[in-house]
Amino acid sequence: TNEVQIAYDIASIDVKSLEKSKDLTVINELSYGTDFLSINTEKAPLNDINLREAISYALDKESINEVIFESTSKVANSIITPTTFGYSAKENKIYNLEKAKEIMKKYSLPIKIELWIYEDTSKYQMAQIIQANLKEIGIDVEIKTLELSSFLQLSAMGQHNALIGLWYTSTGDADYGYYPLLHSSSKGGVGNRSFYDNKEIDRLLEEARKEQNQEKRKEIYNKVQNIISKENPIIPIVYKTYTIGLNKKIKGFKFNANGNHILENIDY
């Protein structure tokens, strides 16, 4: 109707209809955010590294992207996004149901766990797909929806088995993603709700903070990603995208992956 010239956070279900309009432009770009499955590594039964590996193989991330986000997001292979300094393009585990089932043969099934989410439609839909995925390998998932303040308070205390989390590495540097989510000093409310404790990861993250050579920092973060992809305290699911609708008359709009888009040079 031309009453709004720029709109942020367009729902994925509306993107296709907007793209058909001759008067509108749709921008769909990666942010610094990642949706992930965070697993409490201190609480049985998911303190078992092999069980976490089975879960990582069982998650059908492509279906999550297609069904929930209309394929407007991108399947994640890392906690940090490709737009973030320190990201490694190395492939993470891909969906492999048979491999997951093979790992699960050593366990007495079914295994029962709780999956925590806060009140959010996309998180609930994501939890339902994860629930169905894990059912196929003998893990019964009870989805527990909490009000956000309770979700944050109780997960900081480590009362969960697993939760669906979201983190924005808003500085654009891997340190702001990896250190709060993985360093042992960040356990609990600071960000490390997987309660992950790995001395080698601690050492690497501390070394990266001191290293001034950026290429060497990239190498350090590549090592971090390799370790995390094997131990799976956090399993990345999809990268968040910013979907923005623009009137085609708008000129000078500048996209920013941290969400603070630049409007100072707008012409209309």
261 within domain boundaries: no
172 within domain boundaries: yes
258 within domain boundaries: no
Residue 154 belongs to domain spanning: 31-240
CATH code for the domain in which residue 223 is found: 3.10.105.10
Token pair for residue 261? 């888009």
The answer to whether residue 85 scores a pLDDT higher than 90 is yes
Q: Note the pLDDT tens digit of each residue in 161-212.
A: 999 999 999 999 999 999 999 999 999 999 999 999 999 999 999 999 999 9
The structural domain count of the chain equals: 1
The answer to whether residue 16 scores a pLDDT higher than 90 is no
What percent of the chain lies above the pLDDT cut of 90? 89
69 within domain boundaries: yes
Beta strands in 71-187 (DSSP E): 74-75, 111-118, 139-146, 162-168
The answer to whether residue 233 scores a pLDDT higher than 80 is yes
94 within domain boundaries: yes
The answer to whether residue 90 scores a pLDDT higher than 90 is no
Q: Note the pLDDT tens digit of each residue in 107-145.
A: 999 999 999 999 999 999 999 999 999 999 999 999 999
The answer to whether residue 92 scores a pLDDT higher than 70 is no
Instruction: Count CA within 13 A, CB hemisphere, residue 174.
Output: 27
Token pair for residue 213? 């050579």
Q: What's the CA gap between 202 and 199, in Å, rounded?
A: 5
Per-residue confidence (pLDDT) for residue 2, from 0 to 100: 82
